[in-house]
Structure 1
């Protein structure tokens, strides 16, 4: 006589349903509260430039890259035409990426649309902080699970991204998901993520170049298959909706470059050293390119830890390579900051807690102090210092922890050598 063992079935109890209902209620309540709070935000031009362009295309059948878009966005943000030094808000997003904004553009009220999109960004920011921690494999004390997301959410640069409703927070989440997918060998998914991150070159171009080099060297053709499949679908739909978008897109991109709005090392160095600033800037960028080239060469065939460190270095280097960029774009540096804090905590074990908290507080408080006290007094010079702080801090920090990041402790004597 054979006996078949059935695994015990677990049924939900009344307490389980009550817990699910409570969590659902809290999520809905927090979301509604955030949307109401977001309605009070006054800026949001980075969102409006996409929302207006899609609305113009959908409702008025006008070219989304025409001058009508900046005019309407400036009216929403400034209440009239942009003044000297204001951002003109020229759309330079490829149309096949712009398709992703079509659902939110169905909302006719710009304030409500911005508030809901900002809620999406806030959720993406929280997810970015958690995923950045997961990438480090940091077995941290419980307080750091709370402290790091708070640093990520309330630092000056992510506040700027939220205030501008910048898609850079979604890009940061996509970059982190690309690294997670590559580590898990979910290559097609990684390729699809890369396809929808193919804009805002000033933020992620070095990061994406490194990934392409690594995938080509490893012959991971499924990543390229996922990228081309997702890109092909988006491109086919985009050309069906607007067959002639390429020329207006390139023209708008060139016009946006000519506007010269934002920060770059050329203008910063020239302001500091009027005579030799341009030469110093090219020398600085040249040394940075050589360093990146060396690290990319090593990372294309190294283990994942080395590749992950080099990917973080690429994100930190992007604002320093001479591309004109904006303050809110620095929010993606949450990814390398998590790695820096994790290695500092684990390597300097005896004082790790104190040193990590000290660095976190520096990242949180110094930019706010510069913004609140130095920028009103010293103007553009302090603002440029505020821009340079985070990428320089991150770049130097990554080289500081480089040895331990790419060579984790392997023997007992390594572990015993912790200070």
Structure 2
């Protein structure tokens, strides 16, 4: 393989840096004109209090300071306003602490740039995980889609950490695929930063790695988690208790639960029972798929990992539409099967699917929004469609594996 001349590498590097600087400047101007980024603000404020003043990010004054920036007053709990607690486990400070030393508008602009760059990277990792070779038109469309579909754009605007969490999770999958087991374990361990997204993913990967006797993944994964927890407890010994208090208080000022709960609400008199039954059935089914994936090759493992991520988003006690950016690689897996099976027609179907999702989700949002609050309906289309798509793709994937053995 012929390497590019040094001067070309330098020019390319400078061009990339120039684009990132220009993007950050544009984001800074956006942040000045449109204050917000509330999902990032609470985490930035916690980091700022801890980095600058040595005050725990779980201290009540952190939330009060965020409320003053957003509302200019204390929150109205009856109106469902976010009290802006830190809410994340303290190991997540690895990602937020560097921003705590910066003014909020600048920190938000840089954060937005990181998220905007991360979304196309998520799509590219999804392509690699699926061993997909999309045509140029499909590739360009997918990269555009990754940023501008509803869940991606919303994540950028509100500054949601879910994009970084998604990168950690699918980055671990890519490292496993390429045999970089220590790196996979480290990324897996770091994904405890947003546990509601990785609560089923981490156990599945560790169990599969143990079944496959890839002990480096287990050792580095468990070691990273243990190290992060140990250091964090040394820094703030009581953070687990304070964090749990914030988690228990969170449902008192949030109205929307998991997609399973939203579906169950169609039957008000039995919603609780139906939600538990649906969630339990999906979880038991997932465990059955885990058992089937034991000892299987990469393609089966990747499909099972995608299923685990989808089911997590369906049954988690509290989900968010911004978390759905982690489903991009699952969509890539489905799209790859479409193009593998239907060739030229498959490419057309993939393009039409992206167009339908792009305009359909934005249309649903604009027609159902109530004030500045998104409708519970926004929680349903993508995880349900992705689950159905994975079920369809499973047959082709397993059939292909069996035929190749």
Assess same fold via TM > 0.5: yes
Q: Would the aligned equivalents of 1:309 and 1:406 in 2 still touch at CA under 8 Å?
A: no
Following TM superposition, by how much is the alpha carbon of 1:297 offset from its aligned partner in structure 2, in angstroms?
0.9
Matched with 2:19 is: 30
**Residues 31, 261 of structure 1: alpha-carbon distance in 2 compared, 3 angstrom cutoff:** farther
In structure 2, which of residues 75, 84, 87 is the aligned counterpart of residue 92 of structure 1?
Answer: 87
Asked if the contact 2:89–2:243 (Cα under 8 Å) also holds between the matched residues in 1, the reply is: yes
Q: How many Å separate the matches in 2 of 1:231 and 1:200?
A: 13
From 378, 399, 402, the counterpart of 1:407: 399
Q: Distance in 1 between matches of 2:228 and 2:313?
A: 28
| Structure label with greater radius of gyration | 1
Indicate the residue corresponding to 1:397 in structure 2: 389
Q: Is the 8 A contact 1:181 1:187 kept in 2?
A: yes
**C-alpha distance in 1 between matches for 2:282 and 2:122:** 27
Superimposed CA distance per residue, residues 341-389 of structure 1 (whole angstroms, 9 cap, x where no aligned partner)? 1111111225212211121112211100101223359x98x82222111
Find out whether 1:78 has 2:71 as its counterpart.
Answer: yes
Change (3 A) 1:223 1:24: closer
Post-superposition Cα deviations, 1:135-167, rounded to whole Å, max 9, x if no partner, equal 111122221221111111110001111011111
> Could you say if the C-alpha distance between residues 409 and 202 of structure 1 is closer, same or farther in structure 2, counting changes exceeding 3 Å?
closer
Matched, 1:146 2:135: no
Aligned residue runs from structure 1 range 339-358, under 5 A: 339-358=333-352
Alignment check: 8 A CA contact 2:52 2:101 kept: no
CA distance in 1, matches of 2:252, 2:166: 26
> Once the two structures are superposed, what CA deviation does each residue of 1:297-356 show, in whole Å capped at 9, x if it has no partner?
111222111110011111111121142111211111111011011111111225212211
Give CA deviations for 1:30-75 in whole Å, capped at 9, x if unaligned: 2122212222143212222221112112323322101112212222
Moved over 4 A (4+): 9-12, 409-412
Could you say which residue in structure 2 is the equivalent of 1:55?
A: 48
Confirm or deny that 1:43 pairs with 2:36.
Answer: yes
1:387 aligns with 2:379: yes
Does 2:269 match 1:280?
no
Partner of 2:237: 243
8 Å CA contact retained: 2:260, 2:314: no
Q: How many residues align?
A: 397
Q: TM-score, normalised by structure 2?
A: 0.90
Q: 1:193 aligns with which of 187, 192, 195?
A: 187
Q: TM-score, normalised by structure 1?
A: 0.87
Which of 283, 303, 313 is the matching residue for 1:319?
A: 313
Residue 176 of structure 1 aligns with which residue?
170
Change (3 A) 1:325 1:411: closer
| C-alpha displacement of 1:115 | 0.7
- CA RMSD, Structure 1 to Structure 2 (Å): 2.5
Question: Aligned to 1:105, which of 100, 106, 128?
Answer: 100
CA contact (8 A) 1:269 1:278 kept: no
Q: Which runs of 5+ in 2 are unaligned?
A: none
Secondary structure at the aligned position of 1:281 is classed as helix
Query: Post-superposition shift, 1:96?
Result: 2.4
- Asked if 2 retains the 8 angstrom alpha-carbon contact of 1:203 and 1:315, the reply is yes
Q: 1:285 to 1:228 in 2, by over 3 A?
A: closer
Distance apart, 1:261 and its partner CA = 4.6
TM-superposed CA distance for 1:249, in Å, is 2.3
- For residues 72 and 359 of structure 2, what CA distance do their matches in structure 1 show? 32
Alignment of 1:202-281 (within 5 A): 202-265=196-259, 267-281=261-275
In 2: Cα distance, 1:240 partner to 1:287 partner? 40
**Structure whose residues are more often helix by fraction:** 2
Q: Is the 8 A contact 1:260 1:324 kept in 2?
A: no
Q: Distance in 2 between matches of 1:409 and 1:299?
A: 12
Alpha-carbon distance between aligned partners in 2 of 1:394 and 1:268, rounded to the nearest angstrom: 17
- Contact conserved, 1:54 with 1:101, CA < 8 A, in 2? yes
Q: 1:10 to 1:339 in 2, by over 3 A?
A: closer
